[in-house]
């Protein structure tokens, strides 16, 4: 059973064994508006927690997507380059950005669960 955690930068990370799938939350997608460009990291790249490793752009602005935890990129969502709108359609599903093989599962404990993230969004509205 995968567990899902959230960051203050509005990424979600769903962890199943030592593989984590990362995307942006529905709240983040809604705030961005129509996504027109996505750049995902190269497979094989080693990233550390908090490192900017993907880019998401709306008509108005560009935003970085950060690695919530450290690991190695093992897959990137190839669909997003041709169809960035997939992020708006299913930010917490088909609009995922990339997958990491975790190098330090302990980093997960620093992230928020759903209830804490929802509260965080509410407090920062």
Partner 1 sequence: MAERPAATPEPLKRTPLYDLHVAAGARMVPFAGYEMPVQYPMGVLKEHLWTREKAGLFDVAHMGLCFLQGPDHDTTARALESLVPADIVNLKPAQQRYTQLLAEDGGILDDLMVTRSPGPVEDGNLVLVVNAACKDADYAHIRTRLPDTVKLFVTDRRALLALQGPAAAAVLARHIPGIDQLAFMSGTFASLLGQTVFVTRSGYTGEDGFEIAVPDTDAPAIWQNLASEPEVAPIGLGARDSLRLEAGLCLYGHDIDTSTSPIEANLQWSIQKRRRAEGGFPGAARIQRELADGPARKRVGIRPEGRAPAREGTEILSADGEPIGNITSGGFGPSVNGPVAMGYVSAEHATPGTRLQLVVRGKPMPAEVATLPFVSHRYFRGARS
Binding site for partner 1 (CB under 8 A): 33-34, 36-37, 39, 55, 57-62, 81, 84
List phi, psi (to 5°) of 123. Answer: -70, -25
State the nearest-atom distance from the C-beta of 43 to partner 1, in Å: 18
> CA angle at residue 4 from 110 to 85, to 5 degrees?
115
State the nearest-atom distance from the C-beta of 65 to partner 1, in Å: 12
State the nearest-atom distance from the C-beta of 123 to partner 1, in Å: 19
* Cβ pair 56, 87 in contact under 8 A: yes
Nearer to partner 1 by C-beta: 20 or 29?
A: 29
Nearer to partner 1 by C-beta: 9 or 112?
A: 9
State the nearest-atom distance from the C-beta of 77 to partner 1, in Å: 15
Nearer to partner 1 by C-beta: 39 or 118?
A: 39
* Cβ pair 98, 77 in contact under 8 A: yes
Nearer to partner 1 by C-beta: 5 or 10?
A: 10
Query: In angstroms, rounded to a whole number, what is the distance separating the alpha carbons of residues 22 and 99?
Result: 6
Distances (CA, A) of 99 to 36, 93, 116, 122, 125: 21, 13, 23, 28, 29
């Amino acid at each position: 059973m995968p567990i899902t955690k959230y960051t203050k930068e509005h990424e979600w990370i769903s962890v199943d064994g030592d593989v984590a799938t990362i995307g942006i939350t529905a709240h983040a997608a809604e705030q961005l508006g129509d996504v027109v460009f996505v750049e995902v990291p190269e497979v094989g790249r080693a990233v550390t927690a908090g490192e900017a490793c993907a880019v998401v752009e709306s008509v108005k602005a560009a935003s970085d997507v950060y690695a919530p935890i450290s690991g190695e990129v093992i897959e990137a969502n190839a669909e997003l380059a041709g169809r960035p709108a997939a992020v708006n359609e299913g930010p917490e599903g088909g609009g995922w950005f990339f997958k990491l093989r975790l190098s330090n599962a302990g980093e997960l404990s620093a992230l928020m669960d759903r209830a804490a993230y929802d509260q965080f969004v509410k407090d920062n509205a």
